[in-house]
Amino acid sequence: MSQYRRIVQRRPVLGAFGDQLQKGLAEDQKLLKRLRRSAVVSFEQLQREGHAGGYDSVRRFVQDWRRRQSQLPAEAFIPLVFASFAHVGNFASYCRCVSTQRLSDGKSKGSGNRKNGNRYLRWAFTAAAQMARRFNSRFRSYYDRKAAQTNSILATRALSNKLARVCYYIMRDQVEFREELTAH
């Protein structure tokens, strides 16, 4: 006796409830993760409003919607107000692209970047440095030169510092990227 296997999963027919569910999911996306409605809560809400379908169709709809949302390009915020960044070094420090030192009366009072600057910019510039060394010959030669002097981790940090400096000049001067800017 052969066993039945469904090859293609039919999409749930939610009708007007699908639009309502999608609208609710979009509103929930703006909330903190712990405050968002689960598929069960969304299903119960739809039932109260007259939906006669099953939970599985709502769960699959929510799952598909969240998967599609996760594949959309992400947005990043970099402040364009440079009042607090009088010099390029201040911006590089805010991006955690330089080593830190806290000195008082010539004595070291701590180190590390745990609470200094913006950790997301550090991650972004490190990722940009990885891509730049792969796809730009000028950045690749700079990386190779630094890696020969120290190691690959410090070379990546040096390249991310260089990219942060380039970004500072691009945003300060309101210009597009040019290869000449890498000479700064």
- Output 27-30 pairs: Cβ under 8 A, ≥24 positions apart: 29/69
Model confidence, pTM: 0.52
Q: Beta 103-104 vs 107-108: how paired, if at all? A: antiparallel
What local confidence, expressed as pLDDT, does residue 9 receive?
64
- Side-chain half-sphere CA neighbours of 113 within 13 A: 16
Is 39 within 8 Å of 64 (Cβ atoms)? no
Is 164 within 8 Å of 125 (Cβ atoms)? yes
CA 181/CA 177 separation, integer angstroms: 7
The model's pLDDT over 68-124, given as tens digits with 9 standing for 90+, comes to 888 877 666 665 555 578 888 888 888 888 877 666 777 776 666 666 778 888 899
Bridge partners (DSSP) of residue 104 are 107
Q: Which residue has the higher pLDDT, 162 or 74?
A: 162
The model's pLDDT over 41-61, given as tens digits with 9 standing for 90+, comes to 999 998 898 888 888 888 888
In the predicted structure, residue 129 carries a pLDDT above the cut 90: yes
CA 35/CA 28 separation, integer angstroms: 8
